[in-house]
Amino acid sequence: MDRSGNWGCCLMSVSEASAAAYVAAHREKHKQLPGGGIAALDAQRAAALEQLARQGLPSQRDEDWKYTSIRSITKSAFAPAEPGGDCPAAFIEKHAIAGLDAWRLVFVDGFFAKTLSDTSGLPGGLHLGGLAEGIRSDGARLSTHLGSALGPIPHGFAAMNSAFVADGALIEVEEGLKLERPIELIFVSGVGGEGLLSLPRNLVRLGAGSQATVIERYLSYSEGRGLNNALTEITLDDRACLDHCVLQTIGERSFHVGGVFASVAKEAILRSTTVTTSGALVRNDARVNLDGELATGHLDGCYLAFGRSHIDNHTHIAHNHPSGISRETYKGVLGDRGRAVFHGRIVVKQDAQKTDSEQSNQNLLLSDEAEIDTKPQLEIYADDVKCAHGATVGQLDETALFYLISRGVDRATARRMLTQAFAADVLNGVQCVPLREHLQSFTAAHLDAVLSDQLSDR
Amino acid sequence: MLKIRDLRVAVEGKEILKGLNLEVGAGEVHAIMGPNGSGKSTLANVIAGRDGYEVTGGQIEFMGKDLLDLDPEDRAREGVFLAFQYPVEIPGVANIALLKEGLNAARRYRGEKELDALDFLKLVRERIKLVDMREEFLYRSVNEGFSGGEKKRNEIFQMAMLEPRLALLDETDSGLDIDALKIVSGGVNALRSEERAVILVTHYQRLLDYIVPDRVHVLAGGKIVRSGDKALALELEAQGYGWIDQATGAAA
């Protein structure tokens, strides 16, 4: 908006106005935030708050938010949640992944809930716990790591998370330690009531040559409205290997704005898979910096947008050094009035010769009212690289459908088999077997439910 | 078993079959031969119930039922099987999952109990030997990455599993080398029985050296213009299809 023009009476844009509520909330809260008085941390929070106030929350005029309107989020302000929400252990058990033997951290409305967590038998060299605890005991050191994988704060939501940074998961794996058990982070939101804002910040740091599996799960405690603003920072030192998965199964009236920001050093490997099956509006930012030679980044995603869900996956892989490898596959199934956005930006810096990059986004549209906006964006400044990308949008293959039907399979089952197969394919890359099986059976069951709804609607 | 009377079929408004008559009895093997574009594949697809084929006249009776009245999945469950000319690759659907779903759907249709996992696996292991396929193919996605020969063998394996009453083999010989042709033919011959009819749709006589038909029909211009025994196939091999134009031209 032109601030000097005839609109002088309403200087503040809508997004700034909605940000103002959070800036005001911060004024109330900031004294409760852990690590107050640690100069570096105070400065980070203040800078982030200033950016939030100045920039506001993103609007569709921002190129990176062109296809995602956050009006449904800014319609009303969400109140930052308080610690101490009471989530029954039975809720966590009900949602357990079959066969998954993992260390588990549970977060209730964004706050670490020790009594629901299981960190028994941690090996030496693994620090696993709540970030707030960590800041209280070791804040000066951690403040140097907070924000480092994030880099320049990309938008108002990330600024908000940074201004309020308080709790979340802190995972630090010492050099050379290969973890046998996965780490499961369960974020339950809406425990303290409706209209709450959760702001978890997760810090995952793997020392040279270490290995870990980290699973982030986002669940809604109830069907009420709520907003997650979650941000995960991942730093992998040389030759470290992280299998990372985000599984979002939040309620139909919930919102989730999440970010995974990773820095991958020389010969290190990050494999990250994001699965989104629900939510009124979900925005996932994934930013991977390949910050050393022969660094590898795999970003995969599976999104199922049915009902009135809006799911936006915004990815950015930066090849900053030579011989980096990136692989990116996102697959979406959209039905009803579901909408999805895929933005896949790949930047190959001038020095990043011998880069090997492949990106693909495939979408299955099952209804006329569903919509996908897909945008691959390659920026290549090096001359000796191999980069391939492709995007497809289509319906179920009629020939394949008839093939199944001609073997006696009924039409609805055949549609389901093909749809499930389409979605499940991208999950085959998940290394942790119980997790992979869970993701596949979960997405299959979810598709089963939404597809039978679609059929009975007719 | 199969009675086709005066069948007329159009594809995208163009009439392909123009009054076709054919009767196939249980236990018989019939070969449908003819030049490209004569309507051979149309016949196979319309019996199986594929979309895009508009029946504008005539009837198909199968086991005393009006076949055209049945959905394609019910035709399959009644015992119609189409071995595709171009078997479809279906990534993400395991061969064994398709077979299990298809087989049990037919059993439910007939009011029989579904096969339990153990009996199913026993059957699979027995039948897969017919086409000399390795068991690993069971767990691979349907036809994905299969060679031409493996795809056709997979079709015959599916046929062996589903035990149709009427098997339609659409150009099953195309793209096969001699070894694969022998395996496929061997599978089909092993499945010949008193209760089962087979229709071989083929352009070439070669297949009929291995699967010897009881009757041979020549399809041209949307009709069957000649029928005979296996000797007719040899005659066609010697003469080609050139004579048909004259024959149909003379008749018209």
- Please report the pLDDT score of residue B205 as a whole number: 87
pLDDT at B27 over 80: yes
> A411, B73: Cβ pair inside 8 Å?
yes
Q: Which residue has the tokens 């630090």?
A: A172
- For the residues A92-115, what does the mean pLDDT come to? 97
Number of domains chain B is built from: 1
- Domain that residue B112 falls in: 2-251
CA A244 to chain B, closest CA, distance in angstroms equals 23
Is pLDDT larger for residue A453 or for residue A71?
A: A71
CB contact under 8 A, A411 and B71: yes
- The answer to whether A295 and A326 are in contact (CB under 8 A) is no
**What CATH number corresponds to the domain at position B10?**
3.40.50.300
Beta-bridge partners for B20: B7
B213: pLDDT strictly greater than 90: yes
Picking from A11-25, A264-278, A391-405, B45-59, which range would have the lowest pLDDT averaged per residue? A11-25
Interface test with B, best of A360, A364, A399, A405 (most B CBs within 10 A): A405
Distance from CA of A377 to the nearest CA of B (A): 28
**pLDDT (0 to 100) of residue B139:** 93
Chain B positions touching A400 (Cβ under 8 A) are: 88, 90
Q: Name every residue in B having a CB less than 8 A away from some CB of A.
A: 48-51, 71-73, 76-77, 81-82, 84, 87-88, 90-93, 97-99, 101-103, 105-106, 109, 141-142, 158, 162
In a mutational test of the A interface, the residue from B51, B71, B86, B88 whose CB has the highest number of chain A CBs within 10 Å is: B88
Task: Give how far B53 is from chain A: nearest CA, Å.
Answer: 13
Give tens-digit pLDDT for A447-457: 988 887 665 54
Q: Work out the minimum CA distance from A259 to partner chain B, whole angstroms.
A: 30
Residue A30 has φ and ψ, to the nearest 5°, of: -60, -25
Task: Give the integer Cα–Cα distance in Å for B182 and B21.
Answer: 31
Residues of B with Cβ-Cβ distance to A398 under 8 angstroms? 51
Cα of A368 to nearest chain B Cα, Å: 21
d(CA B126, CA B161): 9
Q: Per the CB < 8 Å rule, is A421 touching B92?
A: yes
* Range A389-416 average pLDDT: 95
Q: What was the pLDDT predicted at B204?
A: 85
**Average pLDDT, integer, range B41-68:** 96
Please name every residue paired with A289 in a beta bridge, in sequence order, or none if there are none. A263, A318
Residues of A in contact with B140 (CB under 8 A): none
Nearest to B101 among A397, A399, A409 (CB): A409
Q: Taking CA atoms, what residue in A is nearest to B100? A: A409
CA-based radius of gyration for chain B: 18
Pair A165, A143: CB distance under 8 Å:
no
For residues B134-160, give the mean pLDDT: 94
**Residue A265 has what pLDDT?**
98
Predicted confidence (pLDDT) at residue A372 exceeds the cutoff of 80 = yes
Kindly report, residue by residue over B174-188, the tens digit of the pLDDT: 889 999 999 999 999
Nearest beta carbon to residue A403 from set B84, B105, B141:
B84
Tokens 């951290």 locate to A105
Total number of residues shown for chain A: 458
What is the pLDDT averaged over residues A218-231? 95
- Higher pLDDT, residue A75 or A326: A326
Task: Please report the pLDDT score of residue A39 as a whole number.
Answer: 95
A contacts of B141 (beta carbons < 8 Å): 421
Asked if B92 lies within 8 A of A420 by C-beta distance, the reply is yes
- Please, which pLDDT band fits residue A15 given cuts at 50, 70 and 90? low
Rg of chain A in Å (alpha carbons) = 22
CA distance B207 to chain A (A): 24
Query: Contact A408/B106, CB-based, under 8 Å?
Result: yes
Q: Residues with Cβ < 8 Å from A442, sequence gap 6 or more?
A: A247, A249, A277
> Which whole number is the average pLDDT over A84-97?
96
Q: What is the dihedral of CA B13, B14, B15, B17, to 10 degrees?
A: -110
Res. A317: pLDDT tops 80: yes
pLDDT tens profile A175-223: 999 999 999 999 999 999 999 999 999 999 999 999 999 999 999 999 8
Set of chain B residues whose Cβ sits within 8 Å of the Cβ of A409: 73, 98, 101-102, 105
Number of H helices, E strands in chain B: 10, 12
pLDDT of amino acid B112: 96
Which chain A residue is nearest to residue B91, measuring alpha carbons?
Answer: A421
Q: What is the distance between the alpha carbons of residues B216 and B226, in angstroms, rounded to a whole number? A: 8
Give the span between the Cα atoms of B6 and B22, in whole angstroms: 9
- Inter-residue contact A56 to A18 (CB < 8 Å): yes
Q: Enter the ipTM.
A: 0.95
Instruction: Indicate the average pLDDT of chain B.
Output: 93
A402–B73 C-beta distance less than 8 A: no
Please give the DSSP secondary-structure letter assigned to residue A272.
E
The whole-angstrom separation of Cα B240 and Cα A325 is 57
Mean pLDDT of B1-5: 97
pLDDT score, position A5: 38
Give the pLDDT band (50/70/90) at residue A9.
very low
- Place B248 in a pLDDT band, splitting at 50, 70 and 90: low
Q: CA of A289 to nearest chain B CA: how many angstroms apart?
A: 32
By the 10 Å C-beta count (0-12 exposed, 13-18 middle, 19+ buried), A292 is classed as buried
> Using the beta-carbon criterion (under 8 Å), do B102 and A408 form an inter-chain contact?
yes
Interchain pair A398, B48: CB under 8 A? no
- Give the position of tokens 């569709």: A60
